[in-house]
Each structure stands twice: as C-alpha cells, then as structure tokens.
Amino acid sequence: MDCGAIKGIADEDECGISAFANPTLRPIGGILKSYPEDFEVRELPLPHEVSGQLPLDELPYLRFRLQKQGMDTLEAVDVLSAACRVPSRHFGFAGIKDSFAVTTQELTVPRELLSETAVRKAAAETELKVSRFRPCASFLAPGMLAGNRFILRIRDVRVSEKCVGEAMESLRCRGFLNYVGMQRFGKAGVRSDLLGLAYLRGDYEQCVDLLLRQSDAGGAYNEHHFGTGPSARVPRWAEVFKRTNSASAALRAMPEGARWTERRLLTALLRRQDLDGGTALKTAEGAPLTSPSSVNDWADETPQSAWWEATRDAFLTLPKTIRAYVDRLWNLSVTERVTRLSLSEPVRGDPLLQTGGYFSFDYCYF
C-alpha cells in the first residue's frame, strides 16, 4: 500500500491505478513511504552543456545541487529565495520533486545575483543542503533532465524470501506499468487532479474553494473514512477563510512557513482585498458567483463577477496545475490498455521507448 492512499487523499482506484503487468503473481504486501527516507529521488541531468568560447568565469549562471525533504521543490525554492533575499523566479529547476521523500536535484541562479558563498550561507539557515557548485551557460527550465532514479524501501513485507525473489524476477522480465504514483494526486487533503480539471474549465472560484476552503478536497475517500462534518480534516486557517472570506485572517491563522501554494494564493488575494479596502474579500451577494462555461464565453462582453476576476487573477500567480489531471487520464488509459488488450506484444498507438542514448518516445504504427 502506498501511504499516500491512507493520508486522506484518495484511493488508488480513484486515480486509475488498478491493473498489473503480471496479474498472476502473488502480492508481496508491504507499505511504501512510511517515512520520507523510504523514498529517495535523484535527478539525472542531461549531458554537460556546451559553453561555447566563454571561459568559466564568464558563464552567466551558477548551478548547484539541492537536497531536501519534507517539502516539494516549489516550497524549497521559496525557502531558499527568502533566505537569499532574491525573488524565487530567478531560480531555475528541471522538475518538481516530491515532498514526502529525500530528493536531490539541480538548480540554477544568475551569478550576478548570488555567489556560491551567499547560497551556502543562506542554505545554512534552513533545512536544505546544497553542494557541487559550478558555473553554467543556461538557465534550468522544466523538462531539462534525463530522468530520475528512485530508491524505494518497502516495510512490513510478510511473505517468504522466495516470493520476493519471484516478484523481482517478474519485474526484471516483464517490467511494470508506469503509473503516475499517488503523490501526484494530492497533498494536505487537496485533490490536485480535481484542481487541474477546474483550471481547465476556467472555474477559478472552484480552484480557490478546493485550495482555501478545502471543499470536496478528498472526494468520496474522505467522506467514507473521515466523515463530512465541517471540521473533517480541515485545518484551522481554512475554517477561518471559509467563515470570514478574509485573506489576512487566514494568513494569520496559518502556521509560519507552511503551505507554500495556499500561502501564495492568499497573499495574492490579500492584495486584492487591500485594493478594495476593508477586512474581507468582496463577493457577489444574493446571487451565485458564475464563471464562464466555455472558452467562447470569455470573449463575451458581459463582465464577470468581481469575485471571479479576483480568484482568476490570484490563481494565475501559481504554477500551472493541470498536470495532475492529465496524469490521471494517463493512468486510466494505461488501465484500459492492459485490461482490454494483451501485454504480450505492442499494438497500434503504444508509445515505444527508443533504446540507446537518452529517452525519446515514438508511437507504434502497423
């Protein structure tokens, strides 16, 4: 069992994880990710870039290795940028690594803004570890990596060594279904795939409700396991925001340094609250707060509600969040592929991994 499924996020079935590469194999049982140390992630960088004719001391960026645990990459960058007193937008990274894990990845920052000494000194004030500093020619952007290497520790395995050996042999010979794991679909009680769907629909009010009011955060899973009462797994700051609609009050109730995404969203809403004046955000009274039902509606000259505009402007300050919903579609597609068709040979439309060099995908056509 993935511990993500017992932390009030969702069951694996809800996220499309329900098939097996070898359904006849006896399960070995056990628990994944009881502790952050049970899941280690190391980013695999692309080959060293060509720096051209520039000498090392003229390369514009400083590249270094970051090790973290207990926070995702966005939170870690926010912590480091605050310690360095440099806006987080100046830090580049190739991917967002899990929070409930020990992860290692590369970051870049302009050398004109920070030196190795400054970054080391700032990191020493945090729980982050930095190392392997060197100059580089380009800013790291999402996707600029060769992949990730994972080390998983499984606890409470209660079968014989022979059964474990059979499972490892099956893994070696038949591989596994490359599902996106449970950590992608929720954090701190919020279903990130539902958030991504609301974003795709342009329903920014629902996005804010999911993040700040924790509405329908855990779906049917939370209803079954934790009840539906007003305080079921809802943190105090979310209760404050739900009751007062005040960004400032919710921020005061939020623990210092916690909830990077929610804090950033509340901070953006606070700017709107200060602009409008008063101690709470203004919403349309006596009428439902409607958002456009389709892309075509966005071109309509009818003005949207002030609350919809406020939620849109605030939510768009966050990194794009559709990925979790797309990943859920991938999981569902993998399950359909496995349950409907044989795994003994590729079929038309299967992605094929090209061997040799770095990963690239093609599609199987007959």
Q: Which of 288, 241, 284, 286 is nearest to 265 (CA)?
A: 241
Q: How far apart are CA 109 and CA 115, in angstroms?
A: 9
CA atoms within 13 A on the CB side of 31: 11
- The number of beta carbons lying within 10 Å of the beta carbon of residue 171 is 13
Q: Which of 142, 139, 145, 134 is nearest to 64 (CA)?
A: 134
Going by their DSSP bridges, the two strands 39-44 and 102-110 should be labelled as parallel
Two tokens, residue 152? 């998983």
Residues 181/330, Cβ–Cβ less than 8 Å: no
Helix 260-276 vs helix 73-84: crossing angle, to nearest 10: 60
Residues 64/123, Cβ–Cβ less than 8 Å: no
Q: Which of 72, 98, 193, 327 is catalytic?
A: 98
Phi, psi angle pair for 211, to nearest 5°? -80, -40
How far is C-alpha 310 from the chain's CA centre? Answer: 24
Give the helix ranges, DSSP H, for the chain: 73-84, 116-123, 161-174, 192-200, 204-208, 219-226, 236-244, 247-253, 260-276, 306-315, 323-340
Residue 94 is which amino acid?
A
Please report, for residues 50, 53, 66, 110, 137, the alpha-carbon distance to residue 56 in angstroms, rounded to integers and kept in the order given: 11, 9, 21, 14, 9
Is 98 among the residues known to form the active site?
A: yes
Residue 310 is which amino acid?
A
Return all residues near 265 (Cβ < 8 A) that are at least 6 apart.
Answer: 208, 211, 212, 314, 315, 317, 318
Q: Active-site positions?
A: 98
